[in-house]
Amino acid sequence: QVQLVESGGGLVQAGASLRLSCAASGRTFSSYSMGWFRQAPGKEREFVATTRWASGSTYYAYYADSMKGRFTISRDNAKNTVYLQMNSLKPEDTAVYYCAAQSGSGRYEDIRTYEYWGQGTQVTVSS
């Protein structure tokens, strides 16, 4: 069982930055692929980024096209925490951001392949 708790959301102006954190419980955090998703009002939950476990201490980062160059995902296994650094925020980035954990090798952009989810943290970007 893995429990995930997100933090770091808030209200910012366009162009600002935020760093989201996701703290995970469990002793096998390092072997999970961790993802960030977001859901805007009236829209489906969409993939943002993932740090995908390959083997040992090797991870690969993947991003949704619209986030490349602005968002950076990272993880600190010693702290059981994954981060999402968001720069140059836009009003269209407004959403609830969710952290998720995946133990298998399913498609990283598919929400159905993630077993555990956090409760979400609200990010609001004003114009």
- Is pLDDT above 80 for 21? yes
Give the model confidence (pLDDT) of 6-15 as tens digits.
999 999 999 9
pLDDT digits (tens, 9 = 90+) for 25-82: 977 888 899 999 999 999 999 999 999 988 888 899 999 998 999 999 999 999 999 9
Backbone φ, ψ for residue 31 (5° rounding)? -95, 5
Per-residue confidence band for 108, with pLDDT thresholds at 50, 70 and 90: very high
Burial of 71 (0-12, 13-18, 19+ CB in 10 A): buried
- The closest alpha carbon to 88, from 105, 68, 115, belongs to 68
